[in-house]
Amino acid sequence: MIETLLSDLAAATQARIAAVTTADELETIRVEVLGRKGKLAEVSKDMGKLSPEQRGVVGKLLNAAKQSLEETLSTRQNAFAAAALAARLECEWLDLTVPAPGPGLGSLHPLTQIQAEIEDLFVSLGFTVLDGPEVETEFNNFDALNIPPDHPARDMQDTFWLSNGHLLRTHTSPVQVRGMKKLGPPLRMIAPGRVFRNEEVDASHEHTFYQLEGMMVDKDVSVAHLIYFMKTLLSAIFKRDVTVRLRPGYFPFVEPGFELDIQCLICNGTGCPVCKHSGWVELLPCGLVHPNVLRLGGIDPEEYSGFAFGLGLTRLVMMRYAIDDIRQLQGGDLRFLTQF
Amino acid sequence: MKFSSSWLAEHIDGLTLAPAELGSLITIKTAECEGVEAHGAHFDHVVVARVLTSEPIPGTHLAVTSVDTGRYGIKQVVCGAPNCRANLLTAYVPPGQLGVTNAKLRGVDSAGMLASAKELGISSEDEGIIEFVTGNPGDAIPGCSSDTIIEIDNKSLTHRPDLWGHHGMAREVSAITGRALRPLSADLPSGPAPIAVSIVDPKLCPRFSALRFENVTVQPSPLWLQQRLESVGLNPINNIVDVTNFVMADLAQPMHAYDAAKLNGGITVRTAADGEPCPALNGTTYFLDPSVLVIADESGPVGIAGIIGGGPSAISASTTTILLEAANFHAASIRKTSTKLKLRTDASMRFEKSQDPANTVRALARAIALLEQVSPGIRVVGGVADVYYPAAPPAPIEFSLAWMRRKLGKADLTAAEVTAILTSLAFGVTETDGEFTVTVPSWRATKDVSIKDDLVEEVGRMIGYGNLTPLPPLVPNTVPPLPPERAYLRGLRQLLTAQGYTEVYNYSFVNEAQALELGLPIADHVRVVNPIAQGQELLRTSLLPHIKRNINDNAREFESFRLFEIGKEIHDRGRDLPEEIPHLAAVSFTKHGDGTASLFELKRLAGTIAVGCTLEPATAHSYEHPFRSAVVILRNEPIGRLFEFHPSAVETGRAAVLYLDLVKLQALRPETGKYRPLRRFPTSAFDLTVVADPRELAGRVLGLIEPLAGPQALKVQYLYDYTSERGRSMTYRITVGAADRTLTSDEVTATRAAIIKGLEASGLTVQS
Ligand SMILES: [Zn+2]
């Protein structure tokens, strides 16, 4: 009796479940049949009237029917959920080719970039990075570098003199003096920074530009060491093996003093307009630190020697990016600056 | 400085190097050669020619001539020179030289040109075609030949007084090539001094030497002399002056010739009296002061020492006796005077380099022979007037071979090599077992060479630096950490670019107008004393003037942009060096919208850079939006400002600016503290809505709530606001909790009540 009832209910419910078209209908059936007050629950209430043997049989049937219905129900539920999710996702179609809102990436000034690159290079070779002020004393800028007053070398550097009696440094070399006093021997230091020359500005001349001073002081530092360091560093900077040559150059704070040329990277030394057909491009002044400079830096020139060099960062940037107007670098024009 | 290669060759036995090669060698070993240029190549083709006939072309100033050119045959040439006449010996330029072509003038064929001295590049004489007294058609132009000029960068000769003349450079070439330098005559007449000379201050004038000549004929120099001077950039004037210039260009010793008849009494080398006038031979009268050294006779200055001669005593056509001066002056004094008078002459340029006092008599000896050549019949009167205060001879320089090897990094350098090089450069060398004692020739001793390090250069450059093997250092290498300030600035720049800001670099200068626009007191600025261009008067005490310019410039090109600068404010500290304080200026600009977004974007940026900073409303500066300006506070210290530029400061749009003092910011960065254990007991939160004046500040109310909430308050958060006619309603969420237990609801309620009570006591209404 009750078995028939149960199997009819199961069959009818299976049919209804198969026929539903929405998740809501399915839920209605679940509540109606499997819910706490559902039809199966009613059936199980009636079981109390049965004999223990019958109760066992019916109980098994009841569980089987319930389990079967739950499985069917769950399968359909999952199907509905999957369909609903698919539908929702489809609605969430997005065009990822439109530009992202908000700010894009900014860019670092090319001088910052090249400076960082060269700093890292020198640091990896054991050089400390030092800073010096833009406004310097006449002593540090000239006298301590073996350029006494009335020295003709002062003519070589048109100086901005200031109302406080000081000057705008004409080179980063005063940091040599500061570096020797701060670090003591042996030392390896570089000092990048802004320097000033009092001259008219045009496409190839600036009153404000950037240099990187370098100095190494140790026992028995020689010209051959200087050449080694310069060759190593310049090869790293230009990312290829460079050929360098030294020729005499006069700078009062070094003795001997050199102009360092690199073989023209455009024509590899065969001659082209960039190197004025000489095959060589003048790149940086350098030399062995003058004993007077060491002495003024508190270092005994009989015990120590050193080399120093000055690298033109502005020039390097212009070479690297083929910039033909030096004024762009401090013009603040974002059309230019966002290219780097 | 221009060097004639044929002039150099005259000093050296058998010099056969091509000038271009010589130029390269000089660059590598001595001084920078800037160029090698042919000079007077046409002298290989131009010939002496005789005018056979000269017929005027009617109605013109021209004449048609028939010319015997020897080498090129008889030519018909049209000539416009007033001195063109039959039988004249002149110069013929064939077509193809000096731009001359076969031409038709007034319908008459002209095959070539008869030329003036100026057209030939000999002198500036252009009154007519050149005239020769002797010679035959087809001869080369007497005394003139093609040459090659080697131009050396003056800067690279700064320390080499001896290289301001051909003889000195020839000595270098001799050392470079190993060819012998020809000796110069040093013969001087003996006899009584022809003039009394006194030197007041031997420091300013260590030596004054002079010769007197009579029976002088002043006339143009022979062509060879004119061409030679012209080729190195000196103008031929007359035979006497040309000789002085020739000797200067040869021996680097400036000379001056006075018309002896115009001198009154003896010569005194003294400083000028204040305001003392000196009429110079350039036509200008200079009014001098006691820093200026003059050559004076008994009537007054007859020349400014080492710079320019006087006008009245200059050589003229009527001169028959001359006094020839070769003196030596203190380099710094000449340089100072030359700068002060803004008068740089060929003489002053040389004296500035510390010339060799021993050179005066060499120059006089050289001049005698030349004057005899260019002024036939000239006679020396008496001997040399020579007042000389020689400096103590420099001590010999000592060094060891081992030391020289270490300096150059060349272990295989031999004593013989060192000796040979130094000897070739005229150093006196004695060497025993690798210990050197070296004496310096007088022309290198004035300034250039005084210590052993100076000799490293001499040896190194002559060996050739290219012959040194690059040597890695033997000292150990440790990689030092990047200094914290640098690492900080580097990180900051990365952060800013990641947030969309592009870096600009601006000048350290501002002009007065820029400073005034931003209300920066002019007197606070360090001033540039000698700006050569506008806009360089002051050193910036703020980055903002240029930032403002950057905004307006870029607003013409972009609808919106972000930029930043990290640069130094420079603050006057009187006689001390100014204080240079790195600052950050970040700008977010937009042409459209109400500007709120830019300001809050920068506020968020401030929070990223200065973690934990707060903003406090500030009294706006004149260039700031009066209601959009705040001070950025970090750990109770102001570190900068956030503001929008006043509409009158920008041409268009809205520009929000974050301006921070990076020194203060770095100093106030929080130190990394100890870890705080995670909370083990649940927290509770409740919201409160405060109703206040429409312009009540959310931050101020937050500041009131925090202390009221007591120690159990973990977080007080502003959520949102709403403005109605009742005022500004601001909702806050307060989260409370205890470390050791769960707070009871009574405790939470009590906290809430305490806050409400406190807020109400401050005059605020709390919505229930
Ligand atoms: Zn090239």
Domain segments of chain B: what residues? 2-40+147-177, 41-115, 197-388, 397-467, 484-668, 684-767
Beta-bridged to residue B625, according to DSSP, are: none
| DSSP label at residue B678 | P
Q: Which superfamily, per CATH, for B197-388?
A: Phenylalanyl-trna Synthetase, Chain B, domain 3 (3.50.40.10)
pLDDT, residue A133, reads: 95
Contacts of A196 in chain B (CB under 8 A): 508
Both A82 and A161 in one domain: the answer is no
What's the token pair of residue B84? 């063109």
Give B48 Cα–ligand 1 centroid separation in angstroms.
44
From B441, B338, B337, select the one nearest B397 (Cα to Cα). B441
Q: What is the CATH number of domain B484-668?
A: 3.30.930.10
Q: For residue A237, how far is the Cα from the chain centroid?
A: 18
Both A60 and A189 in one domain: the answer is no
pLDDT, residue B186, reads: 86
pLDDT, residue A154, reads: 74
Name which of B26, B457, B553 to mutate to probe chain A: the one with the most chain A Cβ atoms within 10 A of its Cβ. B457
Question: Do A135 and B578 make contact, defined as CB atoms within 8 angstroms?
Answer: yes
Give B519 Cα–ligand 1 centroid separation in angstroms.
52
Q: Find the length of chain B.
A: 768
Contacts of A199 in chain B (CB under 8 A): 532
Both A244 and A330 in one domain: the answer is yes
From A151, A173, A169, select the one nearest A161 (Cα to Cα). A169
Nearest to A162 among B490, B507, B526 (CB): B526
Alpha helices in B573-626 (DSSP H): 596-609
Both A321 and A207 in one domain: the answer is yes
* Residue A309 included in any domain: yes
Q: Round to whole Å and give the CA distance between B260 and B399.
A: 51
pTM here is: 0.83
Q: Round to whole Å and give the CA distance between A37 and A31.
A: 8
Domains B2-40+147-177 and B397-467 agree in fold: yes
What pLDDT digit, counting tens, does each position of A39-54 carry? 888 877 877 778 888 8
Both A14 and A143 in one domain: the answer is no
How many CB atoms are located within 10 Å of the residue B664 CB? 18
Which stretches of chain B score pLDDT less than 70?
Answer: 475-477
Domain that holds residue A270: 110-337
Residue of A nearest to B576 (CA): A164
pLDDT, residue B105, reads: 83
Contacts of A123 in chain B (CB under 8 A): 479-480, 482
Name which of B407, B474, B506 to mutate to probe chain A: the one with the most chain A Cβ atoms within 10 A of its Cβ. B407
- CATH code for the domain of A195: 3.30.930.10
Q: Round to whole Å and give the CA distance between B167 and B288.
A: 35
Both A214 and A315 in one domain: the answer is yes
A84 and chain B in contact, CB less than 8 A: no
What's the token pair of residue B517? 């626009």
Both A86 and A132 in one domain: the answer is no
CATH 3.40.190.10 fits B684-767, yes or no: no
Question: Do B475 and A219 make contact, defined as CB atoms within 8 angstroms?
Answer: yes
Question: Do B466 and A255 make contact, defined as CB atoms within 8 angstroms?
Answer: no
Q: Round to whole Å and give the CA distance between B289 and B272.
A: 6
* Architecture label for domain B397-467: 2-Layer Sandwich (3.30)
Q: Round to whole Å and give the CA distance between A44 and A5.
A: 12
Going B529 to B535 to B536 to B538, the CA torsion angle's sign is positive
Name which of A119, A162, A313 to mutate to probe chain B: the one with the most chain B Cβ atoms within 10 A of its Cβ. A162
Q: Round to whole Å and give the CA distance between B354 and B715.
A: 78
* Residue A100 included in any domain: no
- CATH class label, B41-115: mainly beta
CATH of B2-40+147-177, one of 3.20.20.60, 1.10.10.10, 3.30.56.10, 3.40.50.2020: 3.30.56.10
How many CB atoms are located within 10 Å of the residue A234 CB? 20
Q: Round to whole Å and give the CA distance between B67 and B111.
A: 10
Cis peptide before A256 (omega within 30 of 0): yes
Contacts of B37 in chain A (CB under 8 A): none
Name which of A223, A281, A323 to mutate to probe chain B: the one with the most chain B Cβ atoms within 10 A of its Cβ. A223
Domain boundary (A64, A91, A118) is at A91
Both A86 and A120 in one domain: the answer is no
Contacts of B293 in chain A (CB under 8 A): none
Q: Label the pairing between strands A244-248 and A208-218.
A: unpaired
Q: Round to whole Å and give the CA distance between B31 and B169.
A: 10
Question: Do A224 and B531 make contact, defined as CB atoms within 8 angstroms?
Answer: no
Domain boundary (A60, A91, A122) is at A91
Both A83 and A119 in one domain: the answer is no
Both A223 and A313 in one domain: the answer is yes
Question: Do A129 and B482 make contact, defined as CB atoms within 8 angstroms?
Answer: yes
From A176, A169, A178, select the one nearest A208 (Cα to Cα). A169
What's the token pair of residue B102? 């076969």
Domain boundary (A91, A121, A154) is at A91
Nearest to A245 among B408, B465, B500 (CB): B465
Q: Round to whole Å and give the CA distance between B633 and B194.
A: 86
* Residue A97 included in any domain: no
Q: Tens-digit pLDDT profile for chain A (340 aa)?
A: 778 888 888 888 889 988 889 989 999 999 988 888 888 888 778 777 788 888 888 888 888 888 998 999 999 999 999 999 999 999 999 888 888 888 889 999 999 999 999 999 888 888 999 999 999 999 999 999 998 887 766 766 689 999 999 999 999 999 999 999 999 999 999 999 999 998 888 888 899 999 999 999 999 899 999 999 999 889 988 888 889 999 999 988 999 999 999 998 888 889 888 788 888 988 899 999 999 999 999 999 999 999 999 999 998 898 888 888 999 999 999 999 999 9
User: Do B405 and B212 form a contact (C-beta atoms < 8 A)?
Assistant: no
Question: Do B406 and A220 make contact, defined as CB atoms within 8 angstroms?
Answer: yes
pLDDT, residue B477, reads: 66
Contacts of B158 in chain A (CB under 8 A): 152-153, 156, 250
Coil, helix or strand at residue A103? coil
* Residue A276 included in any domain: yes
Phi, psi (rounded to 5 degrees) for A232: -60, -50
Q: Which residues 127-156 on chain A approach chain B with CB closer than 8 angstroms?
A: 127-131, 133-137, 149-150, 152-153, 155-156
pLDDT, residue B149, reads: 95
What pLDDT digit, counting tens, does each position of B217-240 carry? 999 999 899 999 999 999 999 999
Give A243 Cα–ligand 1 centroid separation in angstroms.
13
Q: Round to whole Å and give the CA distance between A89 and B120.
A: 93
Total domains present in chain A: 2
> Which strand (E) or helix (H) includes residue A238?
helix A223-238
Sheet holding B267-271, edge to edge: B197-199, B267-271, B293-297, B300-304, B308-309
Q: How far is CA B551 from CA B599, B650, B656, in A?
A: 15, 7, 10
Both A50 and A195 in one domain: the answer is no
Both A183 and A77 in one domain: the answer is no
